[in-house]
Amino acid sequence: MLYDQHVDRVYRLAFRLAGEDDLARDFTQETFIRAFQRLKDFRSDSSFGTWIHTIAMSVSLNGLRKVKRFRTRESSLDDALTIGVVARRAEPDLKERLRQAIDALPEGYRTVFVMHDVEGYTHEEIATALGVQPGTSKAQLFRARAKLRAALADFAGEWVS
C-alpha cells in the first residue's frame, strides 16, 4: 500500500523539520490527505515517492511558518511579562549549540541541510521536492555548512583534533 511504503520517510522528515511529534503527525496526515485527494493529478512520469515528498515539503514548510508566526507572538508576550527577570543559564553544551545553530539557519539552508546531511536525500530529490535546481540545493547546503562551522567555531579545535 502506498501509505505503508512512504509514511515512515515522510514522518521522519516532518519530525526532523518540526521537532515535535504532534506537528510531525499533523504534517504527515495533511500530506497524505492532500495526496489522496489529488491522486488524479498525479502523473506517473515521476515516482509517487518524489511526488509525495513535494507535497510533504509544501505542507511542512507552510505549517512551520504558521507555527513560527504564532510562537513569535506568544514569545513576545512572554518576554513582555518577564522583563526585569535576569535569566541565568548554564552554558549550553555542544549538542544544544548544534541544535540552536541549525534552528538559526535560514529556512532554505536548514531545509536542505536536514534533508541532505541528516536524512540522506540526494540533491535531485531535494530539488524536485522544493521545486529548485539541483545546483541551488548544492549551493544552499554549502552555505548552510559554512554557517554551522562559523557558529560552532569555538568547538572546532576539540572536534578536529
Q: Does 40 bind another protein (CB under 8 A)?
A: yes
Q: Which three cell numbers stand for residue 149?
A: 562551522
Q: Does 118 bind another protein (CB under 8 A)?
A: yes
To another protein, the closest distance from the beta carbon of 91 in angstroms equals: 17
User: In whole angstroms, what is the distance from residue 110 CA to residue 126 CA?
Assistant: 12
Stretch that binds another protein, among 51-59, 76-84, 128-136, 153-161 (CB under 8 A): 153-161
User: In whole angstroms, what is the distance from residue 118 CA to residue 141 CA?
Assistant: 11
Q: Does 44 bind another protein (CB under 8 A)?
A: no
CA-CA distances (angstroms) from residue 141 to 83, 107, 122, 130? 38, 12, 11, 13
The residue within the footprint of another protein, chosen from 29, 61, 132, 136 (CB under 8 A), is: 29
Q: Does 138 bind another protein (CB under 8 A)?
A: no
Q: Does 150 bind another protein (CB under 8 A)?
A: no
Q: Residue 28: name the closest of 46, 42, 8 by CA.
A: 8
To another protein, the closest distance from the beta carbon of 81 in angstroms equals: 17
User: In whole angstroms, what is the distance from residue 39 CA to residue 86 CA?
Assistant: 54
The residue within the footprint of another protein, chosen from 58, 61, 98, 136 (CB under 8 A), is: 98
Query: Residue 81 is which amino acid?
Result: L
DSSP string, 8-30: HHHHHHHHHHH-SHHHHHHHHHH
Q: Residues interacting with another protein, by CB under 8 A?
A: 1-4, 7-8, 11-12, 15-19, 21, 24-26, 28-30, 32-33, 36-40, 66, 70, 94-95, 98-99, 102, 113-114, 117-119, 145, 148-149, 152, 156, 159-160
